[in-house]
Amino acid sequence: MDARLPTSHDWPELMPGWVWLCGAGPGDPGLLTLHALNALRQADVIVYDALVHEGILDWAPQAERIYAGKRGGKPSAKQRDISLRLVDLARAGRRVLRLKGGDPFVFGRGGEEAQTLVQHGIPIRIVPGITAGIAGLAYAGIPVTHRDVNQSVTFVTGHDRAGLTPTALDWAGIARGSQVIVMYMGMKHIGEIAGKLIAAGRAPTEPVAVTTTATLEDQRTIETTLERVAADIAAAGLEPPAIICIGMAVALRQALDWRAYAEGAVPRDLDPLGLRRPAETG
Ligand code: SAH
């Protein structure tokens, strides 16, 4: 790809000694922002995470690549070491791009890294990214909000600092108050979490969608229910990374699975909410 940037804008310069903390989007390189592309073109060194697509790094052939991921069988870097590495690179006068999957401030520890940099007097810029919890749903054909479904969304992690179901979360409160729940890092504990939501009053038959490697070629989505989700994930052999969506928004996929539609599939139901009126009215 010709990675030229539009000329009708003053693109900021990544200066030596700075760290730009950028979101790389959920996977599909086309979901990168222009600010992130601008950073890629200037960086001397890129410190990137496991969920950053390799094709994106190819847009920065000049840059040294440092892997700081926490999965994929490679040795995992400790958060403190990553943050201090960024400080050292900046102090050495490099133009540092810290590239994180999705959005750096959404379940990505970008806040901690930014804080360490600021505490060490390193100048920073934050470049938001498209988060998997929104884009992953969109690529599966599920609108994260839809007027006839929800006026709020709850983003949760299924995983706390210790790798357990987050105990600080009021699952009963979430069950009562959240119209649509979008869960990151939920694969390990989804059975337990679904149980807590049902115990707190959510219908066992409530629709759930699980989308893995969203926005990439091998994206997969299953539609299931709260009571069946854990068993169906196992039966389908789904592996993380996955975004799990709980709520009626999932039903809209019957009409809006645009990737299948583009390949010739007939929409399963043009009115999955049963509203019996054209979508543009009301
Ligand atoms: N900062 C990231 C989230 C990092 S936490 C963001 O804003 O998207 C890592 C979790 O994000 C994964 O466990 C998974 O739940 C989700 N995730 C990230 N990329 C994904 C993808 N391509 N498909 C499905 N889930 C993804």
CATH number at residue 174: 3.30.950.10
The pair of three-digit structure tokens given for residue 193, joined into one six-digit string: 């979490």
pLDDT value of residue 70? 66
pLDDT greater than 50 at residue 1: no
b/e per residue 124-146 (b: at least 16 CB within 10 A):
bebbbbbbbbbbbbbbbbbbbeb
Mean local confidence (pLDDT), 56-75 = 83
Q: Residue 116 — pLDDT band, cuts 50, 70, 90? A: very high
CA of 150 to the centre of ligand 1 (A): 22
Residue 268 lies in a domain: no
Residue 7 lies in a domain: no
CA of 72 to the centre of ligand 1 (A): 14
pLDDT greater than 80 at residue 161: no
pLDDT value of residue 79? 85
Residue 270 lies in a domain: no
- Same structural domain for residues 106 and 168? no
> Which residues are annotated as catalytic?
49, 70, 185
pLDDT value of residue 75? 57
CB of 215 within 6 A of ligand 1: the answer is yes
Structure confidence by residue, pLDDT tens digits, 176-192: 999 999 999 999 999 99
pLDDT greater than 80 at residue 97: yes
The pair of three-digit structure tokens given for residue 107, joined into one six-digit string: 């379940």
CB of 139 within 6 A of ligand 1: the answer is no
pLDDT value of residue 278? 87
Residue 5 lies in a domain: no
> In 10 A of CB 32, how many CB atoms?
24
Total structural domains within the chain: 2
Give the position, in ligand 1's atom list, of the atom nearest the Cα of 183.
15
- Same structural domain for residues 95 and 191? no
- Same structural domain for residues 50 and 139? no
CATH of the domain at 102: 3.40.1010.10
Q: Domain ends where: 106, 130, 154? A: 130
CA of 103 to the centre of ligand 1 (A): 9
Structure confidence by residue, pLDDT tens digits, 189-246: 999 999 999 999 999 999 999 999 999 999 999 999 999 999 999 999 999 999 999 9
- Residue located via tokens 């847009």: 59
Structural domain of residue 24, as residue ranges?
19-130
Residue 217 lies in a domain: yes
Q: Measured between alpha carbons, how far is residue 130 from residues 102, 133, 248 in Å? A: 5, 9, 23
- Same structural domain for residues 125 and 227? no
Instruction: Output the DSSP codes for 71-89.
Output: -TTSPPPPHHHHHHHHHHH
